[in-house]
Amino acid sequence: MNEREGFIWVDGEICPWREARLHVLTHGLHYASSVFEGERSYGGSVFELTRHTQRLIQSAALLDMKLPFSEQELNEATLAVLSANELKDAYIRPVVWRGSETISAAAPNNRIHMAIAAWDWPSYFNEQDRLNGIKIQTASWRRPPPECSPPQAKAASNYPITTLAKHAALKNGFQDALLLDWRGNVAEASAANIFFVAGEEIHTPTPDCFLNGITRQTVIALAQNMGFKVIEREISHAETLAFTECFLTGTASEITPVGAIDAVTYKPGSVTGWLTGAYADLVRSKNVSAIDMQFQAQLG
């Protein structure tokens, strides 16, 4: 990623992509004092930009970092990055970190830095895998209780176990990992929320120890508007056998059908298809992508 052409917004200025650097003694690198966002632009319009920016500010505050830019300035900077890179459909990554003034656990006076990058990224998963439903493996790593780390901060410190879990899954031929919580209940995928379908009911874990994703909230609202009953509750790992459909949601993964969790198989069905189409309509202003149209056609 460091050798790409283009431009990145860093601490208030647009600079050439390859010149966006930081010091090796940056506090964010050593002590994970860093937060970030994942956003998507469709046709030049960033979906839920304000909500993402607000969550970034909140995440920083939860890690005792005050951003040196206002919400409006960050929104304008995001659009400036898209314009500088001549991007319409893109993934956007704002990131905030503590600087290198002090290297110790406590660094209250370190400067707070920020950058925003954007690049073309059409699909998080292989399109054929997404069409058939991805396979996910239950990880040995678990989400800790909320007293151990702020779960509603999109913080770098919350992601090492997801990296380890997904590495293990990929080595075993799966496309993603399922993390349980500290109680042994279903929590989330490595970087996405998870939903299950039983008849006209949609079940999803209560986000008490993991991030309540913006895409997750959007899909819940879409499902409720379509007449589905959405139930947020504790879901035991054994219960994964009882559902007919399963899908993931996230800014990067959008809505991705799941074909299997370990040896339990699912068939991407009508509920997943309807929600995929509704989400595509919402974020793309009815410009449904080829993969979404193909998926819906497969459902008949």
Q: Which residue numbers are catalytic?
A: 154
Distance, C-alpha 43 to centroid of its chain: 20
The count of other CB atoms within 10 Å of the CB of residue 207 is 18
- Going by C-beta distance under 8 Å and a sequence separation of 6 or more, which residues neighbour residue 173? 135
The count of other CB atoms within 10 Å of the CB of residue 42 is 17
Q: Are 118 and 77 contacting, i.e. CB atoms less than 8 angstroms apart?
A: no
Q: Are 197 and 272 contacting, i.e. CB atoms less than 8 angstroms apart?
A: yes
Tell me the HSE value of 283 on the side-chain side, using a 13 A CA sphere: 28
Q: Are 241 and 184 contacting, i.e. CB atoms less than 8 angstroms apart?
A: no
